[in-house]
Structure 1
Amino acid sequence: MFLCNLFGCSGGVCSILKNLQPGEVVTVTGKSGNIIGPAVFTNFNPNTCIVTLEEENSVTPPTTSITKISCKEIESITFIS
């Protein structure tokens, strides 16, 4: 059984991500201070608490990085309009 099934992905950032629509552009700050984004939110798995983000790299040729992070390890989310 997954840890998040025992304790739930609820409250704070996890609750925001549960309701976020795929395709939203966000910048995420992790609890370690690492900044991810701007990135496209693609998925939230409520069974594992894992968020999937796609971030375009600014190298030539352009590439896309896929980042998976637990919602419990995210300190803040900035929405980009």
Structure 2
Amino acid sequence: MAHGGLLHSVEGGLLSHGRVLSPCSGSACANFDNLALDTEITVIMDSGDSFFGIFKGFNSETCTAILQYQNFVTPPSTTNILIDCTKVAAIALGPIA
């Protein structure tokens, strides 16, 4: 797909002047990209659902953030939640009361 002769589809990204542009370009993506690992955050999705956990990583190629959720039922365990950055409405540092 061309746009003004400069942009072309390249496996989910765009090619502009010979560079592949990440499909992940929203403000949530930029915030995840700059967030320190192991930061406690609450992610509010555009659906209204929210997730509290520890930030474990971000992949700008797939536009996915990894949040580790602590399950306090017996026996305690952790679960990694993969979050689609394009569906994030807000990111709060720490828990939301």
Name the TM tier (shorter chain).
0.7 to 0.9
- Deviation beyond 4 Å, 4+ runs, structure 1: none
Paired with 1:14 and 1:74, the residues of 2 have a C-alpha distance of 9
What's the offset of the Cα at 1:40? 0.6
Higher helix share: 1
Q: Deviations over 1:14-68 (max 9, x none)?
A: 111111111111000111111101x010110010101111010120110111100
Gaps of 5+ in 2: 1-10, 15-21
Between the aligned residues of both structures, percent identity stands at 33
TM-score (norm 2): 0.73
What's the offset of the Cα at 1:73? 0.7
- SS of match in other structure, 1:17: helix
Aligned-pair Cα RMSD in Å:
1.6
1:13 equivalent to 2:28? Answer: yes
Q: 1:62 aligns with which of 49, 63, 76?
A: 76
Paired with 1:19 and 1:10, the residues of 2 have a C-alpha distance of 13
Largest Rg, 1 or 2? 2
Higher strand share: 2
Gaps of 5+ in 1: none
TM-score (norm 1): 0.86
